[in-house]
Amino acid sequence: MLAIADNYFAQFALPVDFEINSGRLGSRYRELQAEVHPDRFAASGEEQRLQAIKLSSYLNEAYETLKSPLRRAGYLLRLRGIDVEQVAQSDLAPELLFEQMELRESLAELSGGESAFDRLDELNRKAASRLAERQRQFVQALAGNRLDQARKLFHELQFLHKLQTEIDKKEESLESVADF
């Protein structure tokens, strides 16, 4: 049966890097899941069935982590011994907090109508642009082994990701109102 590798990247035969080949990740995930899927071990002994469930769960977690740029960034930091769960106030630049507050206020003020969708598109482009820029900076900080800077950028990525999620929810809510 499949053995658990030292890290998620090794499990999928990928280099330990922020930039990954998502096609390779997906195909390797399907190959490995086919190998350890619990249904293949339905007639096996209890120990083998439990091991298959454990491996399948591990592969699901590894795949979801590497598939998501945000989770992958956090995982890369954890591999380097950085605790990403604790966020200090000093980790977040006042400019970022102010900008986030402004963007969220703009989002909250949106009401129905065509102009709301235009404004949402503008907010989404702005958030996507900032997210792409922070990801680029994160990759550079990690490559330069500037782990404290990479950790701070990771926390900024979390804020931006959450903002994009809020924008998507607002768009869905406006679309459902517009459908009536």
| pLDDT for 154 | 95
Minimal CA–CA distance to 166: which of 123, 133, 136, 131?
123
**What is the C-alpha separation between 54 and 80, in angstroms, rounded?**
25
- Which is more confident, 112 or 98? 98
| pLDDT for 179 | 59
pLDDT bracket for residue 177 (50, 70, 90): low
**What is the C-alpha separation between 70 and 86, in angstroms, rounded?**
16
Q: DSSP character for 82?
A: -
Write out the residue limits of the CATH 1.10.287.110 domain(s) in the chain.
8-67
**Percentage of the chain surpassing pLDDT 90?**
49
**Rounded to 10 degrees, what is the CA torsion of 73, 138, 9, 49?**
0
For residues 13-20, average pLDDT: 96
For residues 51-60, average pLDDT: 91
- Which is more confident, 98 or 77? 77
Structure tokens at 106: 């703009």
H-state helical runs in 68-146: 69-79, 94-109, 114-143
Asked if 170 contacts 107 with a C-beta cutoff of 8 angstroms, the reply is yes
Fold entry, domain 8-67:
Helix Hairpins (1.10.287)
> pLDDT tens digits for 114-165?
677 888 888 889 889 999 999 999 999 999 999 999 999 999 999 899 989 9
- Which is more confident, 169 or 63? 63
CATH architecture entry for 89-178: Up-down Bundle (1.20)
> pLDDT tens digits for 78-101?
999 999 988 776 777 788 788 888
Asked if 7 contacts 16 with a C-beta cutoff of 8 angstroms, the reply is yes
- In angstroms, the Cα distances linking 65 to 1, 42, 74, 95, 141 are 23, 28, 9, 29, 20
C-alpha neighbours within 13 Å on the C-beta side of residue 75: 20
